[in-house]
Structure 1
Amino acid sequence: MEFGTLADRIDNHSYPATSIDLIEDYGDHEVELPNGTQTLKNLFEPLQGEEFDSPEDARQAVLNMVDDRAIGRKGYSDRSPPAPGEETEWEPESI
């Protein structure tokens, strides 16, 4: 996920700030996701005016609100056996 120029704008914004404040100032900025983009407005509208005390809080809210376009392969985990039908050379260790 890439914030692009939005990262600097969020970092330099005056806090505390609400999701509405950030939408008004940066709503058209897009967040680049592995499978598309989402605007800040699109991400923050469901938050209905939630207040952020810091840039870190605002960035975390972005991460919490992205949809499934932010994940590579749905259901994939490098910590589990392959999905049914997938071939792999991975063999679980015997205990």
Structure 2
Amino acid sequence: MRLNELGDVIARHEYPTSSTDFVTQYGEEVIELQNGDETVAAILSRLGDETYTCPQDVLDSLYTGVGHEAIGRRYYSDRDPTSFGENGPQQVSF
């Protein structure tokens, strides 16, 4: 996830602020994701109305509010155990 210059904007913004006020000022800013991009307004709208007391609150909301486009391969994990009835990888001892 790339914030570009938005990280500096978040740091300079005056706090406390509500998510509504933040979206009013910066909602059209675009954040680049792994598989696309999304606006600040779209991300923060998923979380409801919040009050941010510091820049880290905004960053936390943005990081947790992004859609599935922010991750790589969806539902992929190389750590999941093999399902019952499947032939999984053979264990290797070093």
TM-score range, shorter chain: 0.7 to 0.9
**Structure 2: which amino acid aligns with 1:15?**
Y
Normalization by structure 2: what TM-score?
0.80
SS of the aligned residue for 1:38 comes to strand
Q: 2:26: which partner in 1?
A: 26
Within 1, Cα distance between the matches of 2:27 and 2:67? 17
* Unmatched runs of 5 consecutive residues or more in structure 1: 83-89
**Structure 2: which amino acid aligns with 1:54?**
C
Q: 1:4: which partner in 2?
A: 4
**Structure 2: which amino acid aligns with 1:26?**
Y
Q: 2:37: which partner in 1?
A: 37
Taking every aligned residue pair, what percent have the same amino acid on both sides? 36
Q: Cα distance 1:91–1:56, how it changes in 2: closer, same or farther (>3 A)?
A: farther
Report which of the two structures shows the higher radius of gyration computed on alpha carbons: 2
Aligned residues: 89
* Unmatched runs of 5 consecutive residues or more in structure 2: 83-88
Normalization by structure 1: what TM-score?
0.80
